[in-house]
Amino acid sequence: MRMRPTLTWEPQGDPPPASTDLSAVVAAVRAGGVVVLSGAGLSTESGIPDYRGEHGSLRRNHVPMTIQEFTAGDHARRRYWARSQLGWRAMNRARPNTGHLAVAALAEAGLVTGVITQNVDGLQQAAGSPDVVELHGSLGRVICLGCGRVSARSELANRLREANPRFEAIAEQYQSARVNPDGDMELPDGAVREFRVVACTACGTGVLKPDVVFFGENVPPQRVAACRGLVGGAAALLVLGSSLTVMSGLRFIRQAAQSRTPLLIVNQGPTRGHRWADCRIDLPLGRALTDVVAQVGL
């Protein structure tokens, strides 16, 4: 039986009332120096579900892969790469939505000076935002756990397709399945039983892993340091579409609170960081950010 990683939190006390008034966000953005911390809620309008929202994958009993399970044996890796072979295609078809484009426009105007994303889909970069810090890595890259070589996910997709010619019939059968936020798709065990996993081409034997931070794995310290530097220099921290459940993102909320940096949260539903927020806006991200761009005059 797969063990479910810790993915939820229980709110303590009553959250501050949510608002639909964007005036505080507009004022902070207009003043400039804003650092954005984005989560899965920013990509839902591109067709990629989040974990914890109303239609999130956890409500479908999806159990994300953990680093402990992935490294434990061939069976888990075979299941992951088979499911990810389908999920990657769906993720690769996704396009930036109006929320991503709004953040990119604010960055181009110099009002947003840094973007930290918890997402692994690459959509914020595709929208045109420069120098995005990918806190949890990217599904567009693959890393060898043996020699450390990093390669393109598209390269591995071609190798897996060649190694599993009969899998294309299965792919056709399940192409309408829903993609999960971690880039896989639901497949029955029978569909993945004969899937062949390939090794690293550089060292010949190394285990390949998506260049993402799995649950149970630590964010690389140099990446954390880069994010702390951005938050430390921010005039305001703007959280977009994140429940802040996991510590990898919550730590920057606490940093902002300790330095008394204004914290603004736009998210549908409560967050683990609401007690530190100067304002909490409950609106769809695409609509809210498009309004912010219009109100600052871009």
CA 164 to chain centre: 28
Buried b (16+ CB within 10 A) or exposed e, 197-214: beebeeeeebebbbbbbb
CA 145 to chain centre: 22
Side-chain half-sphere of 157: how many Cα atoms within 13 Å?
Answer: 18
Alpha-carbon span 200 to 208, nearest angstrom? 6
Selecting among 62, 100, 136, 274, the annotated active-site residue is 136
100 carries an active-site annotation: no
What are the catalytic residues? 136
